C-alpha cells in the first residue's frame, strides 16, 4: 500500500474493524473540517493509543452480535497507522449495522499495511512515522480467551469515545 498523506485516529478495536472486520462507516458527531476535500480519496486509519476495558468489551460484544470475531485486546495495534480506506461520502443516514450517527464517514476498499508507529491527532491530520507502537497494558494481556457477552440491547448502544 502506498500510504496516503492524511489520516484520522480511531480508537481500537474500531480501527481494526475498519480494516479487517467489514466496518464500512466511521461514526462521528460531525464530519471533521476538510472532509469534503477527501471524498473519493484514500486516507490512513491511525489506531489511537487509548482503549479502556469497557470500550473493548462493548465493541467486541457488539461485533459478536454480527458474527465478527474481534481480536484479543493485547493483539490490537495501538499508536500507529494500520491501513487505509477510500472515503466514499459523508451521511447522516446509512443502512449499515455499523452506523450509529449522527454523521458517518462511509468508507470502501480497506487495505491493511504493516503497522507504522505515528502520533495521532484530532480530525484529519498529515501523518508521519514517529515514536513507537504502544505496548499492551496488563489488563489486555490478562484478558480471558472468551469475551463475556452483555445483553444484545446493551451491546447495540454506541459508545461515542471511539471517535
List the grid coordinates of 57.
468489551
Task: Report the pLDDT value the prediction gives residue 22, as an integer from 0 to 100.
Answer: 96
For residue 149 the three cell numbers come to: 457477552
56-78 per-position pLDDT tens digit = 999 999 999 999 999 999 999 99
The fraction of the chain above a pLDDT of 70, given in percent, is 87
Separation in Å, CA 82 to CA 20, 45, 73, 94, 159: 10, 6, 15, 25, 22
Backbone angles phi, psi at 96, to 5 degrees: -130, 145
- Segment 141-162 shows an average pLDDT of 52
Q: Which domains does the chain have, with CATH numbers?
A: 6-154 (2.30.130.30)
Residue written as cell 484478558?
143
Going by pLDDT thresholds of 50, 70 and 90, the confidence category of residue 145 is confident
Q: Helix and strand tally (H, E) in the chain?
A: 4, 6
pLDDT of 156 over the 80 cut? no
Q: Which three cell numbers stand for residue 31?
A: 464530519
* Arithmetic mean of pLDDT over the chain: 88
Amino acid at each position: 500500500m502506498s500510504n496516503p498523506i492524511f489520516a484520522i485516529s480511531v480508537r481500537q478495536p474500531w480501527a481494526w474493524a475498519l480494516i479487517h472486520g467489514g466496518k464500512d462507516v466511521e461514526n462521528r458527531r460531525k464530519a471533521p473540517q476538510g472532509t469534503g476535500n477527501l471524498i473519493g480519496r484514500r486516507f490512513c486509519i491511525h489506531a489511537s493509543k487509548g482503549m479502556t476495558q469497557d470500550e473493548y468489551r462493548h465493541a467486541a460484544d457488539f461485533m459478536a452480535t454480527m458474527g465478527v470475531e474481534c481480536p484479543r485486546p493485547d493483539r490490537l495495534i495501538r499508536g500507529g497507522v494500520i491501513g487505509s480506506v477510500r472515503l466514499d461520502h459523508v451521511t447522516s443516514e446509512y443502512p449499515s449495522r455499523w452506523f450509529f450517527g449522527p454523521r458517518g464517514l462511509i468508507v470502501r476498499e480497506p487495505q491493511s499495511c504493516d503497522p507504522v508507529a505515528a502520533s495521532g491527532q484530532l480530525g484529519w491530520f498529515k501523518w508521519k512515522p514517529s515514536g513507537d507502537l504502544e505496548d499492551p497494558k496488563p489488563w489486555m494481556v490478562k484478558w480471558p480467551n472468551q469475551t463475556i457477552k452483555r445483553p444484545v440491547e446493551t451491546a447495540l448502544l454506541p459508545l461515542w469515545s471511539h471517535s
